[in-house]
Amino acid sequence: MIEWFTKNHVAANLLMLAIIILGVFSLKTRIPLEVFPSFESNVISTSVSLSGATALEVEQSVTLLIEQKVSDLAGIASITSYSSEGRSVVNMEVDDNYDKRDLLADIKSRIDTISDFPDDANAPVTELRTRTRGVISVSITGDISEAKIHRLGEQVRDDILQLPGITQVELERVRKYQINIDVEQRQLHRYNLTLADISQAIKNSSVNTSAGNLRTSAGDILISTNGKAFDIDTFSNIVVKTNQNGATIRLSQIAKIENGFEETPLKARFNGKNAALIEVYRVGDQSALEVANNVKDYIEETRPTLPKGITISHWNDSSKVLKSRLNTLIDNAIQGGILVLVMLSLFLRPSVAFFVFLGIPISFMGAFIVMPFLGISLNIISLFGFILVLGIVVDDAIVTGENIYRHMQGAESGIQAAIFGTKEVAVAVTFGVLTTVAAFLPFAFIEGQRGAIFAQIPAIVIPVLLFSLIESKFILPAHLKFMRLRQGDYKPNIFSRFQQRFADGFEKLILKRYQPLLIKAIHYRYSVLIGFICIFALLVVFVSSGWMRFTFFPRVPSEVARVTLTMQTGTPFAVTDEHVKRIVEAAQQLQRKYTNEDTGESVILDIFSTTGSNGGASNKGRVSFETIAPDQRTAQDADVTMNQLVSQWRRMIGPINGATSLTYRAEIGRGGDPVSVQISGNSTAQMQLAAADIRAQLKQYPGVFDITDNLSDGKDELQLSLKPQGQLLGLSRATLISQVRQAMQGIEVQHFQRGREEVPVVVRLPLNERNSIADLNNLEITVGELRIPLSQVAHLSIVAGPSTLYRTDYLRTANVVADINKTEVNSTVLNADLRVFLDQLKQAKYPKLDFSLRGEAKEQQDSFGSLQWGLVFVFFAIYALLAIPFQSFFQPLIVMSVIPFGAIGAIFGHWIMGMDLTIMSLLGLLALIGVVVNDSLVLVSFVNQQVAKGLTVRMAVLSAGVARFRPVILTSITTFAGLMPLLFEQATQAQFLIPMAVSLSFGIVFATVITLLLIPVNYMIIEDIKALLNKRDKNSSKEMIEE
């Protein structure tokens, strides 16, 4: 194949054009753009609503039933649940070895057979959880009523849905519509009605249904009634009672009917004004940039048409981040590519350098062809994969091109040099690429929350490397065969003269410096080997002593800061809202403080706040502000960091009375909490005591803050118990609870579709008759024909109950979490110390409880477990891939002996750059293993070829070292040059990727220097050992003959 393509340059060029055309087509039409990659969830969730029920009641009557029903299903890796007021959610994580959709069908069928759910529980909803990423949010803001804000929000949502390339838009942070039918108790008493009577009357009158077909001679005629009510007028005319004298009582006579909203405590504000938020999502292969641009164009067109006092703005525009970061990474790739081309041109003829460099875009286009089939989008992770492989991808082309050029210098014709030069290194180059592929392959199998992110990298790197192999074998030789050596009448230009001087100087370096050094190293080979071993031992001491810190995942500042407030459960909405306003005011002060006097613009762009939630939590609030990206600020504000802003915001807000949790977040890529302890057991009281002990222990560590748990807070419950009088009247507890629930929660009598929203119709008591304990005591309970105040038939007692109950793998659980200042404390060291404390705590005080570290510690454990197996796989795979071409068990060890010294360079690089080691650093080391052996592989292969030609081992080693010095140095320099722009990148989203680039770039440079000395030394030592063993075998044979 190599010879055929080399001779048939038309076929080679057609292959190149096919790759380029298909790659461009795929990039333009089939690869979506997004900030971070989207992943399919592996969690199946079942949710059930039970309005008005306590957390304990939900757990016992719903959650436990679901858990029991699926407990013996194969394929569920773990099961977690939470039971809160009126809602149960059970999450089942799917084992990687099972099909998600098959398991989803099995779970649905199991849950559908449950017949013991409470009568008033909604039907369970079981689904595979989806992960959708919002592209941009649109805010509608103004000092107008909630109803007007809602209507404008609906209009904007519907308009945006009509824009091209947009299919998912949601109206959020607003209460849902509801038709409220409020009936006072005096009206119920006057007309001898109950809420249940009124509800049944509405159900009977407001109905659309068919009554079959009337079969006539002319054909069948459908019989139906179309009387379902959809508006206030229709509801008003519903007859709820007809007296004996025939007089009718209509709903409007006894009830107040209004188009309103659910009684969910929820209020959103944008820059301090009432707001609705429209969230726009990217779906499938839609482009985030196109989605955002269309939305922003719509905003500009709509703004002038809005009523006075109404503003429309965009918020949290991820496409801005995407565009900025894509441009940044693309710039890095271009800069790296230019540096690679410059390095190639210095060492090789410009024509050779150009055709070697041409392998980069061809290989990238090949990867673009494959990306849609692998489900890979163009995002900052996949782009990093391209940058990572930028310098590596030309290694095989450098070795091939340089060898072809060397053959041409030996007076071979162009086509002979291309064929023989390519074939001579084909095996070594092919297996060199395969070792790199093997090193990146384990990235795809890393466990933990970030495993899916890491899997993006090999999905880019491996196709690029494989296409580079195709290009270097079938396309590059066909181009280089036309190259001609410079003739005597050639007149060099300025660059040619500079390059010639550089080449002459480099040749002198090889002959005057490297060759004598290599001769001495071979002569004193055992001393050299001991010296290298001592260097590696010093590195081990350096790392194990703690001089080089390890941080599992670095803190990367975001451009959005968030404060999440949780008050004590049961805190009135108005109280929570006042505290949220206080947090907003602090952000506004900060906004004014950092306003540029010249431009009038602040570092802080907008402030968005939410009080309450759609789930009915009146004790929760959230405030966020967005900042200008650091690389887009003026010189005056360039030094203002997000950490400074958050620290000042924290001081301005101060402590909040009654808050059980007040957390600050301003980072991206955050996984689990830096400190998270899970307590499991059956005794809630014991778990509360243990949580208190853990909180006290965490307070002793410097740099640990925001210590909270999910056991510290509960909500007061009013428990009802029947009095003897109620029992004598025949009143059951179920009837009592049902009537109380109808009065307090209301009765949903029907629902209908209004536009895109489903609107419930609820019959209830007015709010002023159900907002105090006195109202509850005065509530009339119907027993037969009697109407008796609740206080006469039931006793009320106030008890503390949990607001939410959590379970993990069928046991009640609680979590204690904390944040840390990573400049003061190392989470790895802290968690190790905490693990010892938890073991002692269990033995000394809580033997019936179990403690486990979750959050970042669990992610680290999962990832390290994967890395250990990955390391074993990489070493075995590389050994096998080296042993096959060498046909030796010993020579792969020569090549692999350079690996530890690559690690030295990587760690030294982190020290130079002032960085901690992170999980990304370790992944870089894993990738380095495959890259660093390539030069050694080619070097040893060349030695073997020279020995096969009849040279002595010593001369073969010297010859190989001198001959391969240039390509070895060149491959390392191009790898470093390709990554150099990324090493000094300041953009936010690139920061957590840099440690991997540091490991790879510095590791390969250091390992290259070692390769040129250590590999020849080790080759000679292996030959010494072989000679010694052969001598021993000969002596043994001689002794046997003599005997």
Backbone torsion region of residue 658, taken as left when φ is above 0, otherwise alpha when ψ lies between -120 and 50, otherwise beta: left
Residue 300 pLDDT > 80, yes or no?
Answer: yes
CB atoms under 10 Å from CB of 18, counted, come to: 12
| DSSP classification of residue 443 | G
Pairing of strands 134-141, 168-172: unpaired
Residue 42 pLDDT > 60, yes or no?
Answer: yes
pLDDT-derived band at 713, boundaries 50, 70, 90: low
What pLDDT does 421 receive?
A: 85
Residues 403 and 454 grouped into a single domain = yes
What pLDDT does 303 receive?
A: 93
Which of the listed residues 95, 128, 161 is the one where a domain comes to its end?
Answer: 128
Least confident span in 214-228, 654-668, 880-894:
214-228
Query: Model pTM?
Result: 0.77
More confident residue, 157 or 919: 157
What pLDDT does 256 receive?
A: 93
Identify the helix (H) or strand (E) that includes residue 993.
none
904 in any annotated domain: yes
pLDDT-derived band at 223, boundaries 50, 70, 90: low
Pairing of strands 675-681, 850-853: antiparallel
428 in any annotated domain: yes
Q: What is the CATH number of the domain that holds 119?
A: 3.30.70.1430
What pLDDT does 764 receive?
A: 92
CA distance 266 to 617: 9
Check if the beta carbon of residue 562 is closer than 8 Å to that of residue 623: yes
Query: CA-based angle 883:888:893, to the nearest 5?
Result: 70
CA distance 939 to 963: 9
Cα-trace Rg, the chain? 37
Range of the domain at 287: 134-176+264-316
Residues 834 and 776 grouped into a single domain = no
Average of per-residue pLDDT values in the chain = 85
pLDDT-derived band at 546, boundaries 50, 70, 90: low
218 in any annotated domain: no
Q: Single out the residue of 453, 450, 554 nearest to residue 864, CA to CA.
A: 450
* Bridge partners for 758 per DSSP: 753
End-to-end Cα spacing for the chain:
57
782-795 pLDDT, tens digit each: 988 888 999 999 99
Q: Taking residues 809-830, what's their average pLDDT? A: 85
More confident residue, 214 or 179: 179
466 in any annotated domain: yes
Residues contacting residue 807 through CB under 8 Å, at least 6 positions apart: 59, 63, 67, 80, 81, 82, 83, 813
Residues 157 and 281 grouped into a single domain = yes
What pLDDT does 85 receive?
A: 83
Least confident span in 61-75, 328-342, 463-477:
328-342
pLDDT-derived band at 214, boundaries 50, 70, 90: low
Residues 70 and 172 grouped into a single domain = no
Identify the helix (H) or strand (E) that includes residue 436.
helix 414-440
974-1029 pLDDT, tens digit each: 778 878 877 877 666 667 778 888 888 888 888 888 888 888 998 898 888 888 87
Residues contacting residue 658 through CB under 8 Å, at least 6 positions apart: 567, 568, 571, 575
Residues 75 and 98 grouped into a single domain = yes
1000 in any annotated domain: yes
Residues 186 and 158 grouped into a single domain = no
Least confident span in 26-40, 220-234, 977-991:
220-234
Residues 20 and 83 grouped into a single domain = no
Strand, coil or helix: what is 184?
Answer: coil
Residues 151 and 286 grouped into a single domain = yes
9 in any annotated domain: yes
pLDDT-derived band at 591, boundaries 50, 70, 90: very high
396-443 pLDDT, tens digit each: 888 888 788 777 776 567 788 888 888 888 888 888 889 889 888 888
Residues 196 and 60 grouped into a single domain = no
pLDDT-derived band at 23, boundaries 50, 70, 90: very high
Q: What is the CATH number of the domain that holds 745?
A: 3.30.2090.10
189 in any annotated domain: yes
More confident residue, 938 or 696: 696
Residue owning tokens 């072989």: 1026
Query: CA-based angle 1040:1042:1043, to the nearest 5?
Result: 65
Residues 502 and 620 grouped into a single domain = no
Residues 825 and 964 grouped into a single domain = no
Helices (H), 441-470: 451-454, 456-470
Residue 315 pLDDT > 80, yes or no?
Answer: yes
Q: What is the CATH number of the domain that holds 907?
A: 1.20.1640.10
Pairing of strands 747-754, 273-281: unpaired
What pLDDT does 138 receive?
A: 94
Residue 1041 pLDDT > 90, yes or no?
Answer: no
What pLDDT does 652 receive?
A: 94
Residues 303 and 333 grouped into a single domain = no
489 in any annotated domain: no
Which of the listed residues 784, 802, 820 is the one where a domain comes to its end?
Answer: 802
Q: Look at the chain and report how many structural domains it folds into.
A: 5
CA distance 912 to 910: 5
Which of the listed residues 94, 128, 162 is the one where a domain comes to its end?
Answer: 128
Q: Single out the residue of 627, 592, 623 nearest to residue 606, CA to CA.
A: 627
Helices (H), 633-772: 642-653, 684-699, 724-728, 733-745
115-172 pLDDT, tens digit each: 889 888 888 999 988 767 788 999 999 888 888 999 999 999 999 999 998 999 999 9
